[in-house]
Every structure is written in structure tokens, then in C-alpha cells.
Amino acid sequence: MVYIKSIELCGFKTFHDRVTAEFWQGINCITGPGGSGKTNLINAIKWVLEPNNSEFSESKGLGILSIGEDNTQAEFAEVSLTIGYESDSEFEQKDFSIGRVLTQNGLNSYYINGKQIEAAKFLQFVNELNQNFLDTFEPDRQGDSSASSLQLQTIESLIQFSMKNDTIPASALIVDSTEFALSDDVLSALKEFLVKAKDISQILLITHNPELIKLADKILRLSMGGRQGSSGIY
């Protein structure tokens, strides 16, 4: 099983100061008030795993640099993911890290296990990693077909898939239930799916719903930092 073990980020959008968040296998609930950085935390994961995502295109890239107390832009944005890998073989490496850094002059650099590598090799590596690794699900956007390359799908389609199959679509799932209200039927089915999937997949669940929060194996609470627009983790 491949899963996200931790994330460290600095200078990325609302995360101006360096912070680290650890994730568990099972259900990880990410919650907090509006503007606390829930979406930014997920975008940081995508930023590393999707170097060619149009959401973070060159024309928009510098917009991810955070703004400090003196209203100046951070000199760089840095995100590093530690990926856990469960294997029956004692000779295989259990964990590895992948990271990305963007500087104010627009230069990107990419890292695997702390060693800088060429962009093309990094892209090849994450493309191979993303095979059956991470999928993203949100509530039905009522006809909005926009999707990221991480196979953005609706929560409803995830539930339907689980009802028809005995397998889970990916090793790690991002499930965002904050933007749109879930109907009672969808909420009930989602709860049933999460209980079923937690022993098979890692789940990063973004929610305000107290019924879903109760299912969490780990709760990550985000807060507004000491200055406006900054995020903290507690």
C-alpha cells in the first residue's frame, strides 16, 4: 500500500511559516473554519504530484507564494511529501520523499529523497507513482465537468463504484465534502463507504460534517494564524 505519510510546507499560499502535518492510514479528517487553508493543503499535495496541472500553470505559478506580515511575497514556496510504502519484502525501502520548490523568479526545482533531479525525470517518476495511487472526489457540481489529472470525480460516482465493485479505486483518496451540501442519502452512503474503505485505502477527508468527523482515525484541525490570511495546524 502506498500512502501519504506527512507533508511539510513553507511559503505556500496561506502557509507562510513552515508547518508539518502527519497523516495516518485510515480516515484523516481535515477540518477548520472557512479560509483556514483546507483547500490549500490539498492543493499543496497536488502541486507536487501534478507538475503539469493547468491549475498551477506558469502564468499562475507565482500566485502560490504566500504574503508575509509586511505584505511582501515569500522568497520561495516549498512542499515536501513523505510517501509511505508497505511491502512484505524487508529489502525494499519503506518510505521516500518527493518535493518541489518555486522561487520568486519563477524557477522550479524538484527533489526525490532530498536530491535535486531534472524536471523530466521527476515528471516521469510522479506519473508512474500516480498510477492507482491518488484520486480526488467532490460532490456533484451540477454539470461542471472541470477535472484535474488526478481523476477528479464526484462523491456520487465513488459511491456507485463501491456498490458495484469489491475493490477501491486507488490507494489514497481525497474526499472533499465541504463545498456542496450532501443529501441525506449521499451522506449515509458515504459514511458506509468510508467505513468499508478505511482498512484498504488512506482517506483524506475534508469536511465540516460532525457525522463524518466522528468516523476519523485522525483529525487535523486548521486555524487562522496570527495575521490575516495565514494558516496554522493544531
Chain segment 174-191, per-residue pLDDT in tens: 888 776 667 888 888 889
Query: Where does the pLDDT of residue 123 fall: very low under 50, low under 70, confident under 90, or very high at 90 and above?
Result: very high
Mean of the pLDDT values across residues 99-123? 94
Query: Where does the pLDDT of residue 81 fall: very low under 50, low under 70, confident under 90, or very high at 90 and above?
Result: very high
Beta strands 202-206; 27-31: pairing state = parallel
Query: DSSP label at 12?
Result: B
How far apart, in whole angstroms, are the C-alpha atoms of residue 176 and residue 153? 11
How far apart, in whole angstroms, are the C-alpha atoms of residue 216 and residue 234? 16
What is the distance between the terminal CA atoms of the chain, rounded to a whole angstrom?
27
Q: In the predicted model, what is the mean pLDDT of the chain?
A: 82
For residue 76, which amino acid is it? F
Report the range of poorest mean pLDDT among 8-22, 93-107, 179-193.
179-193
pLDDT score at 178: 76
Query: Where does the pLDDT of residue 92 fall: very low under 50, low under 70, confident under 90, or very high at 90 and above?
Result: low
The CA R_g of the chain, rounded to the nearest whole Å, is 18
Mean of the pLDDT values across residues 87-108? 81
pLDDT at 119 over 50: yes
In the numeric block, which cell numbers belong to residue 212?
463524518
How far apart, in whole angstroms, are the C-alpha atoms of residue 129 and residue 42? 17
Return all residues near 35 (Cβ < 8 A) that are at least 6 apart.
Answer: 14, 224, 229
Q: Which of 102, 69, 98 is CA-nearest to residue 84?
A: 98
pLDDT at 153 over 60: yes
Query: Where does the pLDDT of residue 164 fall: very low under 50, low under 70, confident under 90, or very high at 90 and above?
Result: confident
pLDDT score at 23: 93
Question: Tell me: the pLDDT tens digits for 26-69?
Answer: 999 999 888 888 889 988 998 999 888 777 665 456 788 998 87
pTM higher than 0.85, yes or no?
Answer: no
pLDDT score at 90: 59
Cβ–Cβ under 8 Å, residues 148 and 51? no
Query: DSSP label at 141?
Result: -
How far apart, in whole angstroms, are the C-alpha atoms of residue 44 and residue 79? 7
How far apart, in whole angstroms, are the C-alpha atoms of residue 86 and residue 82? 13
Report the range of poorest mean pLDDT among 2-11, 33-42, 44-53, 162-171.
162-171
pLDDT at 116 over 60: yes
pLDDT at 222 over 50: yes
Query: Where does the pLDDT of residue 199 fall: very low under 50, low under 70, confident under 90, or very high at 90 and above?
Result: confident
Return all residues near 23 (Cβ < 8 A) that are at least 6 apart.
Answer: 3, 4, 5, 6, 7, 202, 204, 218, 220
Q: What percent of the chain has pLDDT over 90?
A: 36
Q: Which of 218, 225, 151, 158 is CA-nearest to residue 192?
A: 158
Q: May I ask the CATH architecture of the domain 2-233?
A: 3-Layer(aba) Sandwich (3.40)
pLDDT score at 121: 95
**Phi/psi-derived region of residue 27, left when phi > 0, alpha when psi is between -120 and 50, beta in every other case:** beta
Return all residues near 207 (Cβ < 8 A) that are at least 6 apart.
Answer: 29, 30, 31, 175, 176, 177, 178, 213
